[in-house]
Structure 1
């Protein structure tokens, strides 16, 4: 066990009385169990249904792009107990199989132990799964299993074990947990789960990323919906950059970021053509990227061999959205990127943008995380090489709400949103482009 993980657990296991309770705690068995033992729920982003009988099929989401989707679950029972549950899903952005406790569980005695289960992967070529455990009121954390799960496809039942500390963070409250286990899924697939238990003693198993350093550790994006296109897109961007150099028209401006930056090639294309194409602009935005994914791309050559006048960086909303990450950790990832860009582009002025607002209302939880990040990263500006700009007010209504006429999904701008971005950024960007 790493020193970091020991520190987290030590903070949670604080008294000798509690240690004695931990030694006495029996393992928690989720499967096999009578159907009444747990509230087993299947769902997607629009609806959920309890698996109260042998099977359940959910209606498809109402959105046009998801109407051909399917989601269902079935059980294998013996001797009055559910032995296994199978989840089938197709063309879904997110689906879940949840085992909810009918009475809150105290998982503190188990934080030195293991979540373990058997997984039978029938099909996962176009999908992915995550193991999830709740960590307090409104707190749920997951571990990506795409690599081991895909490797197990067609091999029958395979044992999976994860340290329960994978789901622990400072401040997490494991004293009243209502969700001891869930499988979240995306894309398409068919998997079965059995022999699910939480042990109070550590068992050998899979490693999980160190949440304290994940944002600064270079990594490719390994989400199921990205693995097929992410690396090819990186290679395409290297080729796009090479062609600009060979043509004697190297980029004068580079945008670096996630799907919001990638949107310059789609919803923002017309604005891009009017304002940035003449600068031989290079858009290095990849949907779903967190700070560590951008860091990997930069270290693999995406900005090598060029010297643009300005690089525009906006990143971090996926650190918040995918992981609910501590703002200080996200800010550390952004600082690591600032340093990387400065090292590779020493003559380039860096325009660091505040993370855009998300969610409809000012009190949206993920927007609040992003705003805390913005407060931290504003301090990275030195007024000479690194410049910070917050244009978020230009994207919001007067009452602080975010309109769907600017961001239809309350996260990604449409053509109007990209126009607002361009106009709000123009005064600062023009000065930086004109500066020697």
Structure 2
């Protein structure tokens, strides 16, 4: 057990443990007392008052259909079934009504439930709990979930520590269980309980190391194209070979040099034989997987432009130090594979409308750390974020329509703001 967690547990009195039930029932055919069952997509939730509730035709997800219904496992109505089609996010949630204290279960406790994955070939699932307004913890389950499809009911047991991060307060949990679906699929759950002790039979990523552990991007909306894009980029890299002077490495913001930024790319970077290694949705561990699987092998560019990490923030609201460690791990790998290349590390771009946007503030903390990665010999840091912002620090939809991804004007700004640093590094490489 981690020392900090052990210390937290030690201060709780034996009375608190004695008062906690050995098994805390979350769903056994009905919600907890004063609780409720809800379903939601990207907009407002609906409560399951009868046997079925549906959400369809929402403004932000017009093609999405999400249905939650009572169903059966041991009897006719002791389970819940979530069906979702073309959903960005479909959530079945058990709301506790009265806050639940899960602290006594942290030492050796488990979350146990039965699940029946009827269909998931075009979807993904994750299991979640909410421990506060700014505390939602998730365990992704797309790959193992697809392996369970069509195999009937299975009993899953997760260590509660799968959902815990240092500093979390599990004393008043209002959503002790939820299933998130995306894409299209059908999943049923039953018999959801927290147990004081148990042997887990389901794995979860270690939140402290996930950012530096290479992995593919396994999301319902990416899994069908991500590996194909990697293979295509391997072929493109082989074709360019040593003619590539600049390589851009990143996530969707870099990927979109091939879309919204294409006019700028063709004019500014294509003449230099530039290679775009941006993949939508990528987090630091996904970039690392690509590097370890040959995406820059055989290249010898003068400059590699790096800008990623915002998906670590957006998907996991990750500790800035953890995201920074993931970025550092990628830099280390690049320096091994491209020993003659100068690395231009960009600050993660601003997101959210206002300076106090929660996710923007996390990114800024990451930027404060990674600025120190520059050694001014092989790694150089540039923060061009002010070029995207108005005088009061707000981000305009005229530049980033969704307050995250630039439009063509945004890519013009990127190219113009980065030009002095890039020119300097290209010129130095020619000496």
CA contact under 8 A between 1:18 and 1:109: conserved in structure 2? no
Cα deviation, residue 26, structure 1:
2.8
Cα deviation, residue 315, structure 1:
1.0
CA contact under 8 A between 1:68 and 1:91: conserved in structure 2? yes
Moved more, 367-376 or 30-39: 30-39
2 CA distance for matches of 1:17 and 1:240? 62
Q: Does 1:56 align with 2:56?
A: no
- The residue that corresponds to 2:332 in the other structure is 339
CA contact under 8 A between 2:27 and 2:94: conserved in structure 1? no
CA contact under 8 A between 1:35 and 1:52: conserved in structure 2? no
Cα deviation, residue 202, structure 1:
2.5
Deviations 1:30-66 (A, max 9, x none): 2214357331110011221111111101132214xx3
CA contact under 8 A between 1:22 and 1:200: conserved in structure 2? no
- The residue that corresponds to 1:188 in the other structure is 184
TM-score normalised over the length of structure 1: 0.94
2 CA distance for matches of 1:433 and 1:207? 46
Please give the root-mean-square deviation of Cα atoms over the aligned residues, in Å.
Answer: 1.8
1 CA distance for matches of 2:286 and 2:36? 37
**Runs of 4+ in structure 1 displaced over 4 angstroms?**
77-82
Provide the aligned length of Structure 1 versus Structure 2.
427
- The residue that corresponds to 1:275 in the other structure is 268
- The residue that corresponds to 2:120 in the other structure is 124
1 CA distance for matches of 2:41 and 2:4? 32
1:405-420 correspondence to structure 2 within 5 Å: 405-420=398-413
Cα deviation, residue 241, structure 1:
0.8
Structure 1 unaligned regions, length at least 5: none
- The residue that corresponds to 2:422 in the other structure is 429
TM-score normalised over the length of structure 2: 0.95
2 CA distance for matches of 1:133 and 1:16? 22
- The residue that corresponds to 2:231 in the other structure is 235
CA contact under 8 A between 1:359 and 1:411: conserved in structure 2? yes
CA contact under 8 A between 1:22 and 1:109: conserved in structure 2? no
Cα deviation, residue 226, structure 1:
1.3
Cα deviation, residue 158, structure 1:
1.1
Q: Does 1:42 align with 2:51?
A: no
Q: Does 1:362 align with 2:355?
A: yes
Structure 2 unaligned regions, length at least 5: none
Moved more, 310-319 or 340-349: 340-349
Deviations 1:188-224 (A, max 9, x none): 1111111111111122311211111111111111112
